[in-house]
Structure 1
Amino acid sequence: MKILVVGNGGREHALVWKLKQSERVEKIYVAPGNAGTADLAENIEIEATDIDRLIKFCKEEKIDLTVVGPEAPLVVGIVDAFEAEGLKVFGPNKAAAQLEGSKVFSKDFMKKYDIPTAKYESFADAKEAIDYIKKEGAPIVVKAEGLAAGKGVIVAQNVDEAVRAVEEIMVNEKFGEAGERIVVEEFLAGEEATVLAFTDGETIVPMIPSQDHKPAYDGDKGPNTGGMGAYAPAPIATEELMAKVYEEILVPTIEGLKKEGITFKGVLYSGLMIVDGEVKVIEYNVRFGDPEAEVVLPLLKNDLVDIIEAIIEDRLEDVGIEWLNQTSVCVIMASGGYPVAYEKGKEISGIKEAEAEDIIVFQAGTDFKDDKLVTAGGRVLGVTALGNGYQATIDRAYEGVKKIDFADAHYRTDIGAKAIK
């Protein structure tokens, strides 16, 4: 079969890498892809949100299945548009994608269906938001309502910082339309975890739990990013806790959507905060996380095509999903200055030397310039190692990182440290 993967990040490289292992796959295209996907598939110069051109391409090339990686095309309704044209596509529809596309929708939804989350208020007026912050005090969390590439959440340690965040988002329009409304919520002190789940709208199959590292610097310091690394499985998500997540979060989410007349089919991402054994939802995403995909997909034993088709055809309950009994660690190598200002076009060397039997280098912000591999984004590479035991796997990942070089490369040195602790 012929497959189109939509997107151009590390997650999409991981999806292509996994899909290519299927004996059923004859050819993979990626729109628009990156230098890493070009090694495994054929990149097509069509942007992920150019739905009309993507549909035209799928019809001309007789694509059997389209797999949507990033959130932006899902939120604008790529699945609805493809289905209207009779094209097979993997991902939630526009109504379901509101869970990620609108933080106000998702918080109101959680409140309505008693899904545990932080106390919050939403605002369309900056002055009202600032008055509320001054009343509540800090630390406090300020979130742009819409999509902001993982950077629209500010954890403010004091009131002045929170006020500045409101002004940046609502007055200075740092995230454009995504900041027309904001959510201000209580700060939860605990440990984060991510639980991804496959679902066809009836059956829900949680994946191996993982833990992302959002802040830019060691010790969870600095501004939030799209993610500086991840590991799986996350030991904080015990069997007992996973049972709670299933019963108190995943099932009520899918059932609540059904009551709203919405069927969710695809990958549901629950970003969780664990406080004294209790679990609360920080955020929903409606697709594989990035970098979580880079640690979870390498542990999946099944043919991903089989799972995707079962979800589309409402028969996920027939698929027995299995996982490798190993650990997986991904360290993100970013451009110096990320997530604020950074330069592109720095030559990258050492990837072939880094890649070994148990190390995969997933490319994210990369491109070719004058036949040289160069940086083309904030998060450049995800160096993923597989192994037995956390320390050994962490060591392997960093061995890989040290073999790769580009000017001003920045990475955290403590990815996975919490697993050992």
Structure 2
Amino acid sequence: MKKVLIIGSGGREHAIGWAFKNAGFEVSFFPGNAGTKFVGKNVLLDNFDRLVEFDIVIPGSEEFLVKGVADDRRNVFGPDSSGARLEGSKCFSKLFMQRHDIPTAKFSIAKNSVELEDALKTFQPPYVIKADGLAQGKGVIIAENFSEAMEKGTKLINGTLISGVSGPVVVDEFLKGWELSAIAIVNGKDFALLPFTKDYKRAFTGNAGPNTGGMGAYGPVRIDNNLKRRIEDVFGRTLDGLKKENINYRGFLYIGLMIVENEPYVLEYNVRLGDPETEVIVTMAPDKFVENVVKAFSNEKIKEYYPENYAVDVVLASKGYPDNPTKGQKIEFVSNNGFFFFAGVKENNGELIVNGGRVLHSIGIDKNLEKAREKAYENIKTVHFEGMFYREDIAK
């Protein structure tokens, strides 16, 4: 039995581990959460030297890849730190797209407030400003007027807007269209698309409230063949560009797209699976997901697959999320029939306690999308914690 280690502590990691457990692997998590121990064991690793104890290591979060967890480690399924710059630096990724003729919004890079003012003058509102480095999903500003853009953009540069985030910013042209998450598995040479999904970023029903890490998702999303070919071309150009720059890429490649008049434009690259997209992708066809990951890990040929089931994920968040979520509430399950992936949950004296903004992912699966949606929302009735809220329009 092969040993798999999943690095991370959220719903994404719980879902990946659940799929590998069902496929017969021995699964461990570092550090994991109160739910991951139901499908494997949570382990403590004081350093990365112990990664050699596992046959396959899958980093869930980008921060580990940016820090080089895959550097010179063949058992880690993910790009090395040079490839991880696609997500670790917005400036690098936008210049990479420019070098390799990959469709994206027009942009400028600003290192200080003077350059920011000059850049903003070349764009029309609403203004889009993105932090260069990792910002845990909070590094994008959409400002309706020039003064707001200058104020927030300057704070983003000097480090007073988001704790621990400072430095240059990318000023992007605002694109009007619809968003699509496109994720592929890459074996070092070729790629195979995973089923398309749609996620919901705003906190509240009706796309109201602040941006979050994601309040839910569903899939598969069907698109026409012309658009699919264009998206495949974007992945092909990206991998060709990486090869030209002598970057060997193996792992997951996520491209956040804005579809404008049936043309895909790259909003961002991620070098790992998305969350909550993973919870949907994995549950639609867990066996095929695992099979492709194992083949790609071994540099074997991988094939695109289409799932028979729909999956819907509704995130149960804690009051105050995303800015200041309430923590410490007891989580009570009124029934054992629910299907959840755990995220911001810890165990304290045998009780499950809220320990983050996104707490649980409620999952519904069915061959019919509406029935999958009904199951996900019916599922929510089996759990309660004080301050719990969720969007009512996922997959509607």
- Sort the TM-score into its range (normalised by shorter chain): over 0.9
RMSD after superposition? 1.8
Aligned-pair distance for 1:55? 2.0
| 1:134, distance to aligned residue in structure 2 (A) | 4.3
Aligned to 2:393, the other structure's residue is in SS state coil
Q: Is the 8 A contact 2:89 2:132 kept in 1?
A: yes
TM-score where L is the length of structure 2: 0.95
Partner Cα distance (2:151, 2:185) in 1: 38
- Contact map agreement 2:335 2:382 (CA 8 A) in 1: no
Tell me the amino acid that sits aligned with residue 15 of structure 2. A
**For residue 415 of structure 1, what is the aligned residue in structure 2?**
394
Out of 307, 321, 340, the position equivalent to 1:324 is: 307
| Residue in structure 1 matched with residue 238 of structure 2 by the alignment | 253
1:241 aligns with 2:220: no
Match of 1:335 in 2: 318
Which residue type is aligned with residue 67 of structure 2?
Answer: V
How far has the Cα of 1:176 moved from its partner?
5.0
Alignment of 1:305-384 (within 5 A): 305-315=290-300, 317=301, 319-350=302-333, 352-355=335-338, 360-384=339-363
| Residue of structure 1 equivalent to 2:371 | 392
SS in 1 for 2:227: helix
Query: What CA distance in whole angstroms lies between the structure 2 residues aligned with 1:382 and 1:338?
Result: 15
CA apart distance, 1:324: 2.5
Matched, 1:279 2:258: no
Cα distance, 1:307 vs. partner?
Answer: 2.6
Q: What's the TM-score, normalizing by structure 1?
A: 0.89
For 1:338, what is the secondary structure of its paired residue? coil
Summarize the Cα distance change of 1:164–1:351 in structure 2 as closer, same or farther, 3 Å threshold: farther
Asked whether the equivalents of residues 141 and 152 of structure 2 are also in contact (C-alpha less than 8 Å), the reply is: yes
SS of the residue 2:84 aligns to: helix
The runs of at least 4 consecutive aligned structure 1 residues that moved more than 3 Å come to 172-178, 301-306, 319-323, 351-354
What is the match of residue 186 of structure 1?
173
Give the secondary-structure state (helix, strand or coil) at the position aligned to 1:82. Answer: coil
Q: Counterparts in 2 of 1:9-408, with a 5 A limit?
A: 9-23=10-24, 25=25, 27-46=26-45, 53-56=47-50, 58-59=51-52, 62-83=53-74, 88-175=75-162, 178-235=165-222, 237-247=223-233, 249-300=234-285, 302=287, 304-315=289-300, 317=301, 319-350=302-333, 352-355=335-338, 360-408=339-387
Alpha-carbon distance between aligned partners in 1 of 2:368 and 2:127, rounded to the nearest angstrom: 36
Does the CA-based 8 Å contact 1:301-1:321 persist in structure 2?
no
Q: How many Å separate the matches in 2 of 1:136 and 1:408? A: 40
How has the CA–CA distance of structure 1 residues 174 and 271 changed in structure 2, closer, same or farther, with 3 Å as cutoff?
A: same
Distance 2:35 2:122 in 1: 49
Distance 2:349 2:212 in 1: 30
Assess if the C-alpha contact under 8 Å between 1:145 and 1:180 holds in 2.
Answer: yes
Structure 1 308/327 Cα, relative in aligned 2: closer, same or farther at 3 Å?
Answer: closer
- Spell out, residue by residue over 1:20-67, the C-alpha distance to the aligned partner (whole angstroms, 9 max, x if none): 0113x1x22110000110111111234xxx6xx1323x34xx322211
Contact 1:21-1:303 within 8 A present in 2 as well: no
CA distance in 1: counterparts of 2:155 and 2:392, whole angstroms: 30
The one-character-per-residue Cα deviations of 1:303-329 (angstroms, maximum 9, x if unpaired) are 5454333223321x2x44534322111
Asked whether the equivalents of residues 110 and 116 of structure 1 are also in contact (C-alpha less than 8 Å), the reply is yes
Q: 1:239 to 1:402 in 2, by over 3 A?
A: farther
Q: What whole-Å deviation, never above 9, does each CA across 1:268-287 have from its counterpart, x for those lacking one?
A: 00101111111111111011
2:323 maps to a residue whose letter is V
CA-to-aligned-CA distance 1:247-297 (integer Å, 9 cap, x gap): 2x1000000100000111011001011111111111110111000000011
Post-superposition Cα deviations, 1:118-151, rounded to whole Å, max 9, x if no partner, equal 1111111123213422452311211111111111
